[in-house]
Every structure is written in structure tokens, then in C-alpha cells.
Amino acid sequence: MPEVSSASNHRFQPSSNRQRVNMHPWIADRTASFDSSGIRKVFDLAAKLKDPINLSIGQPDFDVPEEIQDATVDAIRSGKNAYSPTQGIAPLREKLLAEINAKYPGQNRDVFVSSGTSGGLVLSLLSMINPGDEVIFLDPYFVMYPALVSLCGGIPVTVDSYPDFRLDPAKIEAAITPKTKMILVNSPANPTGVTASEQDLRDVGDLAAKHNIALLSDEIYSRFFYDGDFASPAATNPDTIVIDGFSKSHAMTGWRVGYVHGPPEIIATMLKIQQYSFVCSPQPAQWGALRAMEISLDGHIDDYRRKRDFMVEQLSPHFELTSPGGAFYLFPKAPGTEGGTAFVERAIADGLLIIPGKIFSSRDSHFRVSFAASDDTLRRGAERLIKLAGDNR
């Protein structure tokens, strides 16, 4: 195995005795290995501001399409309010499986409906990660990744992807050790919006197969893909476990309908755990998701591509940033030597809500901007960011 470079990879350390001393004696040690989400802290701060310019929200700014709302109301009124089967309602699973089989012909894949993609992540890690197992993912990362790995007793191993946030198979391979159990990829990515190339995903899939490592692909932003065609490592690695859902694509973040597909034995294990945890995704919302599969999102995707182009055009002369190929985030570098947190504090004091990059990273150099907002909010937000960058000079 190649040596792991300490300059490009980081292994999170377990909670210290100092943390244990300050905890209530009934609280489990495992909860000390991670903090509350910093995003929630920003949301709490937002509630105290009057009419802020809000570019912090990680959800679409359009409402759930009326056809989905109507299908869900019809389900409620027709008595579909009890538990569904743990694996999800049959019509939704059948439609999902037909779509999956068409996309990955010849593969033996099963699917179940999870309580959001977050529920899918929890079940995936609980099903596959033992204490001491290492899980590799890129830095910057979605905030849940290190926390959930630690909750399972695993060891998060981050691979530095600055400055372009590319999924680099060589860096992934350098991080593999005999303790590596899983590689976790996220494309398009939160918080950067960067999309992995088809070749890089293929190479990482080959690495996972070569070393007999689980490959988990978080594809919640798969429909928010602006340049070219979406690629998944499952296309070439049939053992890839894929997580997707309706939260972002159809603005159903509060409805908690995701799905996971992969090798049947892995899916069966996740279902076993779901029986004793989430039980099932809310049944009425599943009927709404079934209707959602028939609705075209092209208009919304075109709109978000335009929003992406506007923000990149406005901010790139003033900030170092990589144009996102998907999702609805920008991850610019704070100007000068100020640092991400300090810049965000100035922005919030000026009525602009953005997220410090340190929430998603071991570095404190960047900040996250969401362009899932109205055109007027984006215009005002861009003006405020440019002003703040000028004030830093």
C-alpha cells in the first residue's frame, strides 16, 4: 500500500478525556466525537436578524409541485396513513427499480425507500462500518459524514481536494490502508458543487473493487447537473451502493423520502436496521414521490443553471472560486488573509447570511454560498459580497 501523506489526508481523532469530564454522566462517549451542525447555528442566528439576505439555505427556493401535493393529499384522504412496508410502498419501489434496471442493465440491484437520504446514510454506515474501520471521503465534505462515521465507531479519513475540489483517484489510493472499509463519494458535491468526471469515478470504482472496499455514492444532487451528463460509479462498479432521493430535486426536504440501491444482501441488512429505527418513510409522502417520478424538472434545472452562471460571473472577478457543475452551491475563498469564519462574521453583521467553510472542512479559508434563492436575493447578495471583498482591501 502507498504511504499516506499527512499533508493531504487527515484522520479524525476520537473524543478526548477532557470532553468526557464536561459531559453529563449519562451521556454516551460516542456523542463527544462530533459537535452540533454549525449550519444549524447559522440558522439560529438568522432567526434573530430582520430581513437578512439569505444565501445559506441548502434547499430549493421553489415549492413542491402541485401535482405532488395533490397526490399526497389524496393519499391522506383515502386512508393511506398507516405504516408502509419497511422497504416502501410497492408501486414506488417497482417504479424505482425499473428506472435503476434501465440505467444499470445486467446488474443485480435491489432498492428500498429510506427516511430521506440522511436516513439512507445512517443505515449504510451502520450496516457496513465496524469500530476501527476507516472511511475515506474528500475534504470539503457534507457535514454529516465525519459525525456519522464516528457515531458508528469508525475513523473518518479525509482527502484534501483543495484548490479545485477534484475527486483525484491517486489521492484516494494514497489514503487506503488495511483498515479502509469504505470510500464515500459525493457528486455533485455539497458544499462545493463540483462534479466528478466519469473517468475519475470509474477509476475510484476500480480502486474499490481492487481492494475489496465498499463504495458508497451520495447522489442526492444528481438531477442538479448543468454541464454534460450525470455519471455514477455504479455504471462500472456493480457493487456500488447509491443513495438518492426527492428532497432536493422536488423541494421535498421536509417529507423524508429517499432511496438506496445496491447489492441485495447489503440492502437486506439496511432494511433489518430500518425495522428497528426509522421503521419506514412516511407513507403519504411516498405516494407523493411516486407522482414526482412523472414530473419533468427541466425548467427548474435550466433556471438553476442560469442562477449559477449569474453568480459565477458576478463573483469570479472578486473571489477565487471553482465554477460548480452541479448542486446549487459556490465555495469561494475568503479574500486576503482574513479566513472564512472572519469573513462570514463580517457578512452576517452586514445582513448577509452565508456559511463558514470550516463547517465542511479542516480548513478555515472558504465560505459556502447557496444560489437556491430568488433572482433579486442573488443580485443583492452578490452586491453585498463584492462590497465586503472591497472592504477587505
Contact 114, 259 (CB under 8 A): yes
Q: What's the grid cell of residue 296?
A: 419533468
Q: Are residues 96 and 139 in the same domain?
A: yes
Point out the domain boundary residue: 229, 260, 292. 292
For residues 256 and 307, state if they share a domain: no
Q: How far, CA to CA in Å, does 366 sit from each of 33, 53, 258, 322? A: 24, 19, 30, 12
Alpha-carbon distance 214 to 183, whole Å?
6
Q: Tell me how far apart the alpha carbons of residues 272 and 279 are, in angstroms, rounded to a whole number.
A: 9
End-to-end CA distance of the chain: 46
H-assigned helices in 350-374 = none
With helix as H, strand as E and coil as C, how does 103-129 read? HCCCCCCEEEEECHHHHHHHHHHHHHC
Query: Taking the CB of residue 236, how many other CB atoms lie within 10 A of it?
Result: 17
Residue 151's CATH number = 3.40.640.10
Quick one: 360 exposed, middle or buried, by C-beta within 10 A (0-12, 13-18, 19+)? buried
Residue 254, domain member (yes or no): yes
Do both 100 and 155 map to the same domain?
Answer: yes
- The pTM score is 0.91
CATH of the domain at 339: 3.90.1150.10
* Kind and range of the H or E run holding 184: strand 180-186
Q: Do 148 and 270 share a domain, yes or no?
A: yes
In a domain, 152, yes or no: yes
Distance CA 107, CA 232 (A): 14
Residues 211 and 248 reside in one and the same domain: yes
User: Is 250 in the same domain as 274?
Assistant: yes
Rounded distance, CA 207 to CA 194, Å? 21
Would strands 155-160 and 9-11 be described as parallel, antiparallel, or unpaired? antiparallel
Gap between the Cα atoms of 18 and 173, Å rounded: 34
Residue 124 domain flag: yes
Please indicate, yes or no, if residue 33 is contained in any of the structural domains. Answer: yes
For residue 27, the model assigns a pLDDT of: 84
Task: Classify residue 111: in a domain, yes or no.
Answer: yes
Judgement on whether residues 201 and 158 belong to the same structural domain of the protein:
yes
For residue 75 the three cell numbers come to 393519499
Identify whether residues 100 and 195 lie together within a single domain: yes
Quote the number of domains for the chain. 2
Is residue 71 in a domain?
no
Claim to verify: residue 164 and residue 305 sit in the same structural domain? no
- Residue 320 in any domain: the answer is yes
Q: Which of 216, 53, 84, 207 is nearest to 149 (CA)?
A: 216
Q: Are residues 208 and 304 in the same domain?
A: no
Which residues span the domain enclosing 333? 17-63+298-391
Residues 267 and 315 in one domain: no
Clarify whether residues 206 and 191 are in a common domain. yes
Classify residue 39: in a domain, yes or no: yes
Which parts of the chain sit beneath pLDDT 50? 1-7, 15-18
Longest dimension (CA), the chain: 62
| Alpha-helical runs (H) found in the chain | 17-21, 38-46, 66-77, 90-103, 116-128, 144-151, 169-175, 198-210, 264-275, 283-292, 298-315, 340-349, 375-391
| Domain stops at, among 258, 277, 292 | 292
Tell me whether residue 3 is exposed, middle or buried, using C-beta atoms within 10 angstroms of its C-beta: 0 to 12, 13 to 18, 19 or more: exposed
Cα-based distances in Å from 98 to 66, 93, 111, 185: 25, 8, 10, 24
Task: Point out which residues pair with 160 in neighbouring strands.
Answer: 139
Q: Is the dihedral of CA 336, 343, 317, 357 positive or negative?
A: positive
Rounded-to-integer distance, Cα 75 and Cα 257, Å: 15
Structure-block grid coordinates of residue 350: 452586514
